[in-house]
Amino acid sequence: MLLFENFLLALSGLRANKMRSILTMLGIIIGIASVIAIMTVGSSMSGSITETMSEMGASNITVGLTQVSSSTEVTRSGMRFNRGPRYTQYSDDDLITEEMLEALQEAYPEDVTGYMLSKSVGSAQAKDGQLYANISITGGNQTYIENDRLTILAGRFFTDRDQEEAKKVCIVSDYFCNNLFNGDVDAALGSQISILLNGAYCHYTVVGVYEYDASSNFSSSSEEDTSTTLYIPLLTAFNQVHEDPAYSQLTLISATTTNVTSFMSTVEEFFNSKYYRKNESFEVSCSSLTSLMEEMTSMTGTISLAISFIAGISLLVGGIGVMNIMLVSIQERTKEIGTRKALGATNASIRTQFIVEAIVLCLVGGFLGIVIGCTIGVIAAHQMGYYVYPSIGGIIFSVAFSMAIGVFFGYYPANKAAKMNPVEALRYE
């Protein structure tokens, strides 16, 4: 009950001295508002990075061939020399085959859900008399095509039969249709196009037209000369270049429950111990957006924490301001303290009264700082184009820190008030 009365007494004191209280709380308000705003922006940046990379496939693992790192050998005479890979250009025997991929999926069926496989055929030109369209031919399996998130304007994607039978069909862009079919996508469907590739013509039937994202093109070429991707089935691409299906790089799709970081090591160990143990030039290595995402999140967190620490210095200034105003308040209320002690108030009750006043002063300043900080953080995150993720941890920290400041900087003045001699306090003018 006494604690509640002290709380009400502290609030009445704030109302009685509004301007002085506001000026006293100013350091607390600015400090907490700065910390909350910075942590909110930092949290929003981290959340946006995580969400963006998740959309890009943060759980996907890029598997590729890398050169064996050089090693140091010592001769009998004690001479040292670096031994590097025997070859720097991989041959067909070095590539990752589909049999290897099937073996990996059989060994870890709960972790491997599929692969994104592709084959670049090269740059070419589709021609129809004087009309032409620049293209880059890429073959891909169903998973690869779906991952490109193409928006089909007309026609369809490849079917399983297209893939399995290596049919000579293709999916072209609307830019392609603008050049060869005057923008008529319906006229493009079902038509056979001639492609000049490496000095020879090959023919494909158009089964789909997708919307080209011009924002992803950084070329300074005119619209007519813009090169867009022409998609063909994966086996069709390998047949086009007269190669057996094998890959120097591919993307493994892991299950959502898989720990990507640890599974990358498992995949490397699987390939290198089973298939590349005797390969002196190349080995398999893995990478993932997950590790990059963790590094970026850690970096933004560290930067936010460092800036918050600097902004938190104003909290120290605010705490000193609270101590100062409490000392002034005790000086002004010397007779009141003497009267209370003469009527039987204990040192503990006097000490509690002034500590509660300091805590209330800091909590009110902390609450105002949280409101202002959240507002600034939300506006700043919104202006920078990030999704807003309010820093709950920052808010809890601010409330706790406000109370800690109240206790820490309020204890000395409160203890000084508690130790006053009631007789001298009553004589104070």
DSSP string, 147-198: HTT--EEEE----HHHHHTT--EEEEEHHHHHHHSTT-HHHHTT-EEEEEET
Give the single-character DSSP code of 276: S
Separation between Cα atoms, residue 347 and residue 201, nearest integer Å: 100
Residue 87: pLDDT band by 50, 70, 90 thresholds?
A: low
Beta strands in 198-292 (DSSP E): 200-210, 228-233, 246-247, 249-254, 282-288
Q: Is the pLDDT of residue 210 over 80?
A: yes
Mean pLDDT across the chain: 79
> What pLDDT digit, counting tens, does each position of 54-77 carry?
555 567 888 999 988 755 454 454
Mean per-residue pLDDT, 144-165:
90
pLDDT (tens digit per residue) in 225-283: 788 999 999 999 999 988 999 999 999 988 878 888 889 999 999 999 999 988 888 99
Tell me which range, 54-58, 221-225, 378-382, is most confidently predicted by mean pLDDT.
Answer: 378-382
Confidence of residue 224 (pLDDT cuts 50, 70, 90): low
Q: Are 330 and 42 in contact (CB under 8 A)?
A: no
The full DSSP string for 57-108 is TTTEEEEEEEEPPPEEEE-TTS-EEEE--S-SS--GGGSEEHHHHHHHHHH-
pLDDT of residue 112 exceeding 50: yes
Q: Percentage of the chain with pLDDT > 90?
A: 27
Pick the more confident residue, 252 or 426.
Answer: 252
Q: Return d(Cα 294, Cα 244) in angstroms, integer.
A: 37
Report the C-alpha dihedral over residues 173, 176, 178, 179, rounded to 10 degrees: 170
What does the DSSP 8-state code read for residue 270?
H
Kindly state the average pLDDT of the residues 187-203.
88
Shortest CA distance to 121 belongs to which of 204, 40, 187?
Answer: 204
From CA 402, how far away is CA 363, in angstroms rounded? Answer: 6
Higher pLDDT, 159 or 384: 159
Q: Taking 90 as the threshold, does the pLDDT of residue 161 lie above it?
A: yes
Residues 324-369 pLDDT 10s: 777 777 776 677 777 777 777 777 777 777 778 778 888 888 888 8
pLDDT at 98 over 60: yes
pLDDT interval class at 217 (50, 70, 90): low
What is d(CA 287, CA 117) in angstroms, rounded to the nearest whole number?
A: 16
Cα separation, 132 vs 222, in Å, equals 13
Tokens representing 406 are 């109240």
In terms of pLDDT, which residue wins out, 137 or 38? 137
Q: Which one-letter DSSP state was computed for residue 225?
A: T
């620049």: which residue's tokens?
A: 134
